[in-house]
Structure 1
Amino acid sequence: MRQDKIILGIDPGTNIMGYGAIHIIGNDIRLLGAGIISMEKLKDQPLKMKRIFESTIDLLEQFKPDELSIEAPFFGKNVQSMLKLGRAQGIAIAAALVRGVPIFEYSPKKIKQSVTGNGNATKEQVAAMLQKIVSLPPRSPLSPKGREPERKAFDFTELKYLDSTDALGAAICHYFHDGMQSVRNSSQSGNKKVSGWKAFLAENPGRNTSPQPLSSGRGAKT
């Protein structure tokens, strides 16, 4: 059956929250939008939590996703940072629960593995691979003169923060993971349906999928 669904990815944070929305139509992955929600000017933690909740609700209303994919907090040495990220993730999840949107969580390593094939890939390599995987929405209708308006390809290097590409990576990871679940289910029923990362490579032989680092210089999440 032909897929047609919208996935919203979120990379939680108390200073910067990244988001990225994709529309899956068949085997095509179309970019709906990506960006960040900044809370750097808010010094009070409760105000940041309020901003995260309200912003997530706004994103859910804007993109109307069928599913939410969120990055799990990274377990590092800084306990305070882990606690803050956990709060941010919990607030975003609560917003999705309020709207009745199914939630899926993936570790940073799992997301990198799904997007690039390397669980230890850099953020720049993830962004570079997304540049090759994600396509733009269809062109707008013909102008009165019968000419299509010129469109520039979306350049991920234009994104100020890598948090937005991390969020897109979470959405892509869920798409591939969901596809592999379909493979398992169809295999059990005797079908030979193939989906996920390997299927994407097989169906898009012209794509150069070797990750290349992008020029950085963008802010990182704290």
Structure 2
Amino acid sequence: MARGTGETVRLLGLDPGLRATGWGVIDVSGNRLTHVANGTITSDAKLSLAARLVELERGVQLVLDTYHPATAAVETAFVAKDAAAALKLGQARAISLLVPARFGLDVAEYAPNKIKKTVVGAGHADKAQIKMMVEMLLPQCRTKSEHAADALAVAICHAHNRTASAYLAKVDATLRTGARRA
């Protein structure tokens, strides 16, 4: 997104989970954020793990096919006390990373505290604070679930941080190229 050009970029935020994966789509033009859509992809707990992952994959594909984002961002996993739960979350995260990447999108990852600090101003904000700020930053938005609110927060975080991340990646690549020439 070039500053001052009025170019609009569509971003997808994902809040991965095996039971429920939140998704949120926003358009970004300069510093203006516009809500496009949000929702939750759920899987049937009675199904096998593999079948649940397929449900998640199909849901993310449907969001990509419907809204055509230019880039995506996913919340990183927090350290869970339950190893089995952490493993399942990791598998859901893998789907959330894989499907957009397979569609050719760059996929960024943000830690929960980074997302909260960007959206709310405090790294330890609760779900209600996140939902309130998301709906304040996206006035036409009514979040469909706390997972969808979290996903929109991921997208908002990406909107605020992606330009800096792209710049730092270019600087890093330039430094590496310069180091090879020396």
Please tell me the TM-score bracket, short chain as reference: 0.7 to 0.9
Cα 1:30–1:46, aligned 2, differ >3 Å: closer, same or farther?
same
SS of alignment partner, residue 83 of structure 1: helix
What is the correspondence of 1:1-222 to structure 2 with a 5 Å cutoff?
A: 1=3, 2=5, 3-136=7-140, 154-156=141-143, 159=144, 161-181=145-165
Q: Deviations over 1:156-195 (max 9, x none)?
A: 4xx2x2001000010001111124447879xxxxxxxxxx
SS of alignment partner, residue 120 of structure 1: coil
**How far 1:5 moved relative to its partner?**
0.3
Contact 1:7–1:68 (CA under 8 A) maintained in structure 2? yes
Q: Deviations over 1:56-101 (max 9, x none)?
A: 1111111101111101111121111111010001012111122111
Percent identity for Structure 1 against Structure 2: 27
Cα 1:45–1:181, aligned 2, differ >3 Å: closer, same or farther?
closer
**How far 1:52 moved relative to its partner?**
1.1
Cα 1:127–1:76, aligned 2, differ >3 Å: closer, same or farther?
same
Contact 1:16–1:40 (CA under 8 A) maintained in structure 2? no
Contact 1:18–1:164 (CA under 8 A) maintained in structure 2? yes
TM-score of the pair, normalised by structure 2: 0.84
Question: What RMSD in Å do the two structures reach over aligned CA positions?
Answer: 1.8
Q: Deviations over 1:132-178 (max 9, x none)?
A: 11143xxxxxxxxxxxxxxxxx434xx2x200100001000111112
Report the residue type matching 2:157 in the other structure: C
Contact 1:111–1:119 (CA under 8 A) maintained in structure 2? yes
Q: Which runs of 5+ in 1 are unaligned?
A: 137-153, 186-222
The 4+ residue runs of structure 1 with deviation greater than 6 A are 182-185
Report the residue type matching 2:9 in the other structure: K
- Structure with the higher fraction of residues in helix conformation: 2
TM-score of the pair, normalised by structure 1: 0.70
Q: Which runs of 5+ in 2 are unaligned?
A: 170-182
**How far 1:40 moved relative to its partner?**
3.5
Cα 1:74–1:45, aligned 2, differ >3 Å: closer, same or farther?
same
Q: Which of the two has higher C-alpha Rg?
A: 1
